[in-house]
Amino acid sequence: MAFVITKPCIGVKDASCLEVSPVLCIASNENEEMYFIDPEACINCGYCEPVCPVTAIFDEYKMPSDQREFLKINRDFYLNNP
Among 46, 50, 53, 64, binds ligand SF4 (CB under 6 A): 46
Query: Minimum distance between the CB of residue 11 and ligand SF4, rounded to whole angstroms?
Result: 20
Q: How far apart are CA 20 and CA 79, in angstroms?
A: 23
Q: Is 34 in the site for ligand SF4 (CB under 6 A)?
A: no
Query: Minimum distance between the CB of residue 38 and ligand SF4, rounded to whole angstroms?
Result: 8
If we measure between CA atoms, which residue out of 9, 10, 75 comes closest to residue 42?
A: 75
Nearer Cβ to ligand SF4, position 43 or 69?
43
Q: How far apart are CA 63 and CA 82, in angstroms?
A: 26
